[in-house]
Amino acid sequence: MDNHENHIVPLKTYLLILGALLVFTFLSIAITLIDLGPLAVAGALLFAMLKTTLIVFYFMHLKFENKMYAIFGGVVLLTFIVVIILTFSDYMFQ
């Protein structure tokens, strides 16, 4: 366990991530206030996925881990996107 490398992330990077998370939060709120129908939910989910990606890569340090974890994360993300597309297509055509 002690052979794990420590990665020092500059404070500026964390502040940029904070700014991006705040912008995505305000955009997800704003998109729900605009009457876009089912696209409002899809947009809010898109911003939620972007925020989740930033949190996982920077605050959970996945960016500095073995690339196999990134591959697993990509497979999970792809599966999630397929499930969301299938759910929305079923909902919209009923």
- pLDDT given for residue 17 in this prediction: 93
**Domain for residue 5, yes or no?**
no
Distance (Å, whole) CA 42 – CA 24: 14
CB-count burial class (<10 Å; 0-12, 13-18, 19+) for 10: exposed
What does the alpha-carbon distance between residue 34 and residue 30 come to, in Å, rounded to a whole number?
Answer: 7
- Please state the rounded mean pLDDT for residues 81-94: 81
Q: How would residue 52 be classed by pLDDT, with cut points 50, 70 and 90?
A: confident
Question: Rounded mean pLDDT of the chain?
Answer: 83
Query: How many domains is the chain partitioned into structurally?
Result: 1
Q: Quote the pTM value.
A: 0.68
21-32 pLDDT tens trace: 999 999 988 888
**Residue 44: closest CA among 57, 33, 53:** 33
Does any domain span residue 1?
no
Instruction: Give the count of beta carbons closer than 10 Å to the beta carbon of residue 5.
Output: 5
For 66-80, write each residue's pLDDT tens digit: 778 878 878 888 898
Q: What is the pLDDT of residue 2?
A: 56
Structural domain harbouring 44:
11-92
